[in-house]
A and B are shown apart, each in its own frame.
Chain A
Amino acid sequence: MLPGLIVTIIVIIGIIVVLLLISIGIYNSMVSLRNKVDNSWSQIDVQLRKRYDLIPNLVETVKGYAEHERETLEAVISARKMGIDAGNIKDQAKAENMITGALKSLFALSENYPNLKADQHFSRLMEQLSGIESNIAYARQFYNDMVMRFNTRIQTFPGNIFAKIYRFTDKDYFEIEEPEAREPVKVEF
């Protein structure tokens, strides 16, 4: 009788220990994923910052050849300032769009100044800029991937139980705010 009782107790303790270990695993994986989401969001910022740092250099180079194009240059500089000063995500996204637009005009401008276009420094800067723009897009893609993984983890069983207890909440996807950006791009010659 006694050995049977001891075995039962050991089995019960064993089951509890296993459940405990599983729970620790689930909780830790949720924390880990949440941190990955936060990290990937910061990585987008790293790329945005690279763009901010590049712009003054670009503006100076263009000024060397096309000083009279006040408007376009001013647009780029002020859009950049807006981006740096932005307090929340909405303002920052708006500023980012303005920067992209201003840079596009700057590039179109360079078509009228063959000397500027031929300048090695200028072409290298434009190359770097194009690389950064791609990186921003990739970083946003990765952020969305991480958000999907995290949200799935806290929405599906058994994660949803832990999510309720420890108050993990869904993260937001990075999405386009302005409906105009969703319109197909019109190419006119």
Chain B
Amino acid sequence: MYEHIAKNKAKTAFIIAGFLAFITIIGFALGYYVDYRYGVSGGYSILFMIFALAIAVIMSFSSYYFSDKIVLALTRSKPISREENPRIYYMAEGLSIAAGIPMPRIYMIEDNGMNAFATGRNPANGVVVFTRGLLENLNDEELKGVISHELSHIKNYDILLGTIIVVLVGMISIISNIILRSFIFGGGRRRSSKSSGGGIISIVFLALGLLLLILSPVIATLIRMAISRNREFLADSTGALISRYPAGLASALRKISSNSQVSAASNATAHLFIENPFGGKRAAFSNLFNTHPPTEERIKRLENMSLGVGI
């Protein structure tokens, strides 16, 4: 288990490093482009870009900061109280103690699909929401597995990470968008005084840069999905450590994967759920664009932990 956790954390760092390198390249392309078109007096487009980025950052971070309130309002969740549902309440309380985080507020959505998600900007403001379908169909050990998984998301600050990634993806989209638009509207204008040697090389460079810019939002999204999948594996491992019973979560995932559809979910909230909330069968190719790893892989890893293989 400890090995899994360490490996997953290392992978996250690796992917984010790759992401930052990618952004640096894009930024470099931008700088090159601006220099090419405007020389020194390229002030306006840069200003506009900074302004757009500032707005993107402010919006993203407000949604992160108030994520608990926003999500609860959007999904019309009802709080779970100790008196009404002692079974769930005591489980969540005990597992929070084992996780070493303050107990998050727990809520329920009226939905027959089986799913759960966690949100909140830090462990002190954590929120976990379960669907009615989940609470009614899982036994105690399975429920403990799910609760531990959600607590792990909160404990590992996955919500903060997700927000940062979304901001970065947004930045890339905005930057490449601006550059491409300028190409369309004013492309081809060359400053006569800029006569660098090697015209062919600069055209090839430009073409490659253009290709990269067009593909960059897609690449950025792929990276974002890869990070999301990686954090799901990490939440599985950390959760197994908290509950000390990986088989519980494995069993829950088996039950959930047959019926995980939640109508209240959207593209923005999909990555927060324990299993893809959009239901339906997915083609193999779409695994790259999936926020969650394939369920069979998750179950296999959890069961290997149970057998003592790779503790």
In the assembly, what is the distance between CA of A139 and CA of B100, in Å? 9
Contact for B97 among A36, A130, A139, A146, CB less than 8 A: A139
The answer on a CB contact under 8 Å between B97 and A131 is no
Chain A residue nearest to B95 (CB atoms) is A138
A40 touches B94 (CB 8 A): no
Question: Is the beta-carbon distance between A138 and B97 smaller than 8 angstroms?
Answer: yes
Closest partner residue, chain A, to B90 (CB atom): A131
Of the residues A36, A135, A141, contact of B93 by C-beta under 8 Å: A135
**A127 interface contact, C-beta 8 A:** yes
Q: Nearest-CB distance from B124 to chain A (Å)? A: 15
CB distance from B116 to the nearest CB of A (A): 20
Closest to B89 in A: A131
- Interface membership of B39, Cβ < 8 A: no
Contact call B90/A142, Cβ cutoff below 8 A: no
Chain B nearest CB from A41 CB (Å) reads 13
| Residue interface bits B81-119, CB-to-A below 8 A is 1, else 0 | 000001001100111011110000000000000000000
Assess whether B244 is interfacial by the CB under 8 Å rule: yes
Tell me the interface secondary structure of chain A in the complex. Answer: helix
- Nearest CB on A from B236, distance (A): 18
Say yes or no: A142 contacts B86, CB within 8 Å: no
Task: Provide the A94-127 mask, 1 if CB < 8 A to any CB of B, else 0.
Answer: 0000000000000000000000000000000001
Residues of B contacting A135 with CB < 8 Å? 93-94, 97
Q: How large is the interface on B (under 10, 10 to 19, 20 to 34, 35 or more residues)?
A: 10 to 19
Whether A40 lies near B93 (C-beta < 8 A) is: no
Q: Is A43 on the interface with B (CB-CB < 8 A)? A: yes
Residues of A within 8 A of B99 (CB): 142
| A134 interface residue per 8 A CB criterion | yes
Q: Are A127 and B86 in contact (CB under 8 A)?
A: yes
Give the shortest distance, in Å, between B60 (CB) and chain A (any CB). Answer: 30
Assuming the A-B contacts A127-B86, A131-B86, are A142 and B97 also in contact, with contact meaning beta carbons closer than 8 angstroms in the complex?
A: yes
User: Chain B contacts of A130 at CB under 8 A?
Assistant: 90
Nearest chain A residue, comparing its CB with the CB of B100: A142
Q: Give 7 nearest A-B pairs by CB, closest first.
A: A131-B90, A138-B98, A138-B97, A134-B94, A138-B94, A135-B94, A139-B97
- A contact set with B: CB distance below 8 Å: 36, 40, 43, 47, 127, 130-131, 134-135, 137-139, 141-142, 145-146
Known: A36-B100, A127-B86, A131-B94. 14 other contacts (CB 8 A): A47-B97, A131-B89, A131-B90, A134-B94, A135-B93, A135-B94, A135-B97, A138-B95, A138-B97, A138-B98, A141-B98, A141-B244, A142-B99, A146-B100
- A-B contact list, 16 entries, CB within 8 Å: A36-B100, A127-B86, A127-B90, A131-B86, A131-B93, A131-B94, A134-B94, A135-B97, A137-B94, A138-B94, A138-B97, A138-B98, A141-B98, A142-B97, A145-B100, A146-B100
